[in-house]
Structure 1
């Protein structure tokens, strides 16, 4: 088998790599858990109604709630000149279904920059655990497990970055109705993500008219165009218009 073919030095490297990854994972769990401990319940379950043709969100109940999601500090976080937010948005009140997001403002003139939604694939890959903290986000978790470092190639140098853990069951996104986990599919995911997006834009109304892009990798090569199709279809209703400019898949 493969193990017997490895030299002792390679085995040592493999073991050390596993230990480092375990430390990284533990730190990431601690960081996100601290965010949730600051606000474990109050976002979920008090948002406006499910999106439908006859039941649209009431912006009066949502347009200032983003303040509650502001992240003021993280363990080992370097000093930064931008704000970031994290929390849940309920996409189905009846079933208690909520999606977890992490949003980083652009570090330069965020008021003039587009909004980019990033989705990891899998299915089942966390956009926070990978996209945000290992790939394109402003903070990278040290592999020694002891802190965060700035990512010199972060996309938030050019855009406002929104990472979404989707569908339910991924990362900190969940449903209180176990039956939901048996009906998850691409259409289900696209509709939940669309509902999330509209409610999130009510929380952050200054981004509602921004140029909007959807980006992702791996299985998100299916998520991204399906969500784009839903947006284009729903944009026939001017009150639901989202200024979708393009999609990026890798």
Structure 2
């Protein structure tokens, strides 16, 4: 399908436009009672084995094609602090056919992580909802709890329909949660989301030029990377997740599996055996978005043996961008080198020291520092602090 170099990239893109000022700004006090009722119906009061938290969470289905009965399952966490001022970040996993709930939320960067040997969740001290309102979506249909009532849909999946359904999901999700329409919006993901993320970003970027203010998405950027397990990672953690998410009490709490899907929840779907379209490279899309005025960051773990830093640099050179500042270190709050950066004309490349491609699992503190600085539009520290 896609070239391996595609998966070696983590892309952070920020887009600033006066058009975003035209977006209708809706506070909770201005939302109709019917919409508030829909939100409350999706409210997750508490999951079995969940630790106490102060932020709210919601989960459920958003229809993306009524005639076919296609619906995507989401799980949304408000930011830990200052929800109304924090950006909105969408996370996607790849595969094709793997769950963002099982991997992204439960094993990497979500608030609740699966534990070994006990039917309880533990709180992730480096959860990304400490920096953003955090949205997970299982995509495409056939993945996790997402479903279609038209069985032939599974045989027509590919990059194009996945991007289209994900865009429709966002438009409809914002109708259900209009208070987030004015928030800065970002997309992130890993593995085959190296296709999903830039392709969805392109659809938003292009469609935003022609839509009404009601459907305009306040898109600011995206980031993406390769999926790889670190040394010391418990290979059975996915087994624990599958036991947990197949529990009836868990599914009831999440408002999931409401149609009684005829197969169990799994991390990666066994139903998706055919994939229609998969471009060999995302570089043309990346270049298009750079030329469109986007700020782009690319990062890579420097101990990733499968897709090494040198391969990422080789890929970036194909963009033909001039180097404005060559290798220089960035620092963590422990006064240690967190990695190195190269600043190109229109793109910044960041390496993360001691990390493979699944950065939040290898070095969660550094990963959080990276996402925090990106969302705040701040450069990484160039000296110890």
Partner of 2:100: 127
Measured in 1, the distance between the counterparts of 2:47 and 2:218 equals: 33
Structure with greater contact order relative to length (CA < 8 Å, sep ≥ 6) = 2
Q: Superposition pairs for residues 112-191 of structure 1, below 5 Å?
A: 112-191=85-164
Residue aligned with 1:89, SS = strand
TM-score, scaled to structure 2: 0.49
Structure having the larger proportion of residues in helix: 1
Measured in 1, the distance between the counterparts of 2:159 and 2:175 equals: 24
Deviations 1:52-94 (A, max 9, x none): xxxxxxx979733111000001111111010000001111111
Measured in 2, the distance between the counterparts of 1:134 and 1:188 equals: 27
Residue aligned with 1:238, SS = coil
The one of 212, 220, 224 aligned to 1:238: 212
Kept in 2: contact 1:62–1:203 (CA 8 A): no
TM-score, scaled to structure 1: 0.75
Residue aligned with 1:63, SS = helix
Partner of 1:79: 52
Does the alignment pair 1:223 with 2:196? yes
Structure 1 or 2, whichever has the larger Rg, is 2
Partner of 2:295: none
Kept in 2: contact 1:114–1:211 (CA 8 A): yes
The one of 16, 19, 35 aligned to 1:63: 35
1:141 to partner: Cα distance: 1.1
Residue aligned with 2:160, SS = helix
1:180 to partner: Cα distance: 0.6
Residue aligned with 1:182, SS = helix
Residue aligned with 1:245, SS = strand
Partner of 1:211: 184
1:173 to partner: Cα distance: 0.3
How many residues are paired up? 192
Kept in 2: contact 1:62–1:202 (CA 8 A): no
Residue aligned with 1:98, SS = strand
Deviating above 4 A after TM superposition, structure 1's stretches of 4 or more consecutive aligned residues are: 59-62
Structure 1, unpaired ranges of 5+ = 1-58
Q: Superposition pairs for residues 28-47 of structure 1, below 5 Å?
A: none
CA RMSD of aligned residues (A): 1.4
Does the alignment pair 1:102 with 2:102? no
1:145 to partner: Cα distance: 3.8
